[in-house]
A and B are shown apart, each in its own frame.
Chain A
């Protein structure tokens, strides 16, 4: 299953690279979205299946938590038993996200607004879904607030997706920590043995 996981990671990185490269070139937004979305979805499915099939129950739970964390911020932490932390992170990101939406006139970041901010929205399934539901070809600054606040609003919406990626990576780190074998403190025994060993006779340790 490792070969599938490797191909999955490769497709994930390749898809994101192609998407960002096309975003930089600002050519064909639809093609950029499709070329990013298809490899990412395929890679995510491959990684998820390989993690679930070729691992023990603990690792399967961690893999499911990782992908649940993408679907909804904080859900992965709740699945591994850190309910309070998951709720806190979800609340924090929700407030930030809706504050950004309020600033940008309840419209998410479209590709024409800012390609980089648009790609950042894919960091969470919830923000991706809201992006499709609330998305417009072009967001417009609100009339009742200063126009200079519009760009920070887009930034707030984007940062939530990026922070969710960090939260997902912390779940991977938690998996490594939790699978580390617990070792008993065995340092005292050799010290005691050395201390109780008879002292060598003069010249005994000299070779030749």
Chain B
């Protein structure tokens, strides 16, 4: 198993703690945490693809 998979639990923990400090509703906390996690992962994935393409073709 790649150590990169450790990114998932630690990022989820960070997002849950941040949202729990801001809100009281558990459903809202879960929803916002997953949304933030998805957004961050998407941005990182897009950035990785961009860096890969730049390194390969430029």
Contacts and interface: CB of A to CB of B under 8 A. Distances in A.
A170 B13 contact: no
B57 interface: no
A48 interface: no
Interface stretch (A19-27, A57-65, A86-94): A86-94
A170 B29 CA distance: 15
B6 to A, nearest CB: 4
A166 interface: yes
Contacts of B6: 149, 152, 155-156
Interface string B13-57: 110111011101000000000000000000000000000000000
Contacts of A149: 3, 6
A146 B20 contact: no
A89 B17 contact: yes
B20 A156 contact: no
B14 A170 contact: no
A82 B2 CA distance: 38
Given A85-B24, A170-B21, A170-B22, A163 B3 contact: no
Contacts of A99: 9
Contacts of B20: 85, 88-89
A167 interface: yes
B58 interface: no
Given A146-B3, A149-B3, A170-B22, A156 B10 contact: yes
A163 B18 CA distance: 8
Interface string A144-188: 001011011001100100010011011001000000000000000
A114 interface: no
A88 B19 CA distance: 12
A84 to B, nearest CB: 9
Interface string A121-158: 00000000000000000000000001011011001100
Given A99-B9, A156-B10, 7 more contacts: A92-B17, A146-B3, A149-B6, A163-B13, A166-B17, A169-B21, A173-B21
12 contacts: A85-B20, A85-B24, A89-B17, A92-B13, A93-B13, A93-B17, A148-B3, A155-B10, A163-B13, A166-B21, A170-B22, A173-B21
